[in-house]
Structure 1
Amino acid sequence: MLKQLKIWLISFLVFVATTWLFFGIFNYFDIPNNPMWLVLGTLMAFVYIFLSYRQLLRNRQPKIQQKISDNMLAHYQAAGMSNEEINFFRETMQLAEGQVKEVATNLQALPKLRAIDLNHDTVKTTQALFKAIVKEPQKLHNASDFLYRHLPSLTELSRKFIEISQHDVKTADTYAVLDKSAEAIAALSQQIQTDYTEFVADDLEDLDTEVSVANQQLTKEQNDDRND
């Protein structure tokens, strides 16, 4: 909004300056003050404002961040994403990538966390969902719960679990908090499995349809062979 106001302000100042310039030219050359010259001058001023405003918009058009491969840029553009959307997606996924890596490290740090990972495939699922989102960036909104709630919570909980586990002195309250934290981490792991299933649901449905069609075709061919 502020950028738009700045652009309009600059355009208005250009209009005032251009109008003042035209009237200065008229007075300098003693051009008759008639509506024809006034209309022409105003028209030219508006044309100049339009061209200036369009150039300002182009200059302010967000550019693609650096360090992106041609293949990934083509991948994002094929998904119909604008430069601004690509930048937002990459910033979001860069943050998520760091969290996925931290979760992978944290869940191998202690036996209790390794057990949760073994039971729920937590690390494998978070990595798989991350790759699925990169593969289909246009579906970013479908992964909002994972990216903005579940993954950050899992990262923070696993980090706190390790921190508390390293306390030199542990009381009954400490063990109670650790037990609750472990339960929450396990619950989040299950939820992330659900996130992954829901995100790839369309792919699973397409595959199921293809399998059904292939089975029908095989059945038809077998029946035709028997009839022959």
Structure 2
Amino acid sequence: MALFSLLNLPFLLLIALAFGFLGLHLLGTGPESAELDLPDDLDLPAADPLLGIFTTPRIPLSLLLMSGSFYWGSVGLLGNLWLQQRGAYPGWGLPAVLALSLLPAMLLTRLTAQGLGRLFQESSAAGGPEDLLGCVGTVISSAIPSTEGFGRIRAYSPQGVLLQLACVTHPDCTPPRQHEAVFITGYDPDTRLYTVLGYESPDYLAWQHGHAGEMQRFEARLQQSLACQNQFESKELTP
């Protein structure tokens, strides 16, 4: 019985795909625009193992794809190895194992999604959306668009909690690029998206000129956010 045989190739590819999704998520280039965020009043049958995956709070789709691929590949690989030990491998073995391993993989993915949902809820409980206005962050997706989809930033809340936020930039403004600093100007409760501008960019200076009162209110929060940001960056640079 060989682990790296052609009979096990589909399951090994699924496991490799899971690590690929993990890498994309860590790099901030995964399918973040397809983040799961269903309406609170949507009633899906909780007993359904597939639909139950999608009843969790705001979770990056790349994490769910990673979990599903890993569990499907791992459960299927174990089942396929067990079947190979039973003697002559039947012709129906591979498609049967692929199909039968999908259900436990979905159940495990659902449990993982619920656990991640609790973590995301705890993070969001560290401060309300309005508390993040006036803070700065760093773009971790490829860019922050203004119209199609959204991007992601990494920012500290006033409580010192590091968060990932879904954002768009203002219309007709230059989209901030990856690793650029941004300033959070607003929050839309309907779309649950923050609006940002490139920090100290011409767009930011123009917005600042027209919102002097808000900038005075945000000043203490801005300085605290900059201090957290600088502390985080200094830790990253420390060998």
Relative contact order higher in (CA < 8 Å, ≥ 6 apart): 1
TM-score by length of 1: 0.28
TM-score by length of 2: 0.27
Greater strand fraction, Structure 1 or Structure 2: 2
Greater Rg over alpha carbons, structure = 1
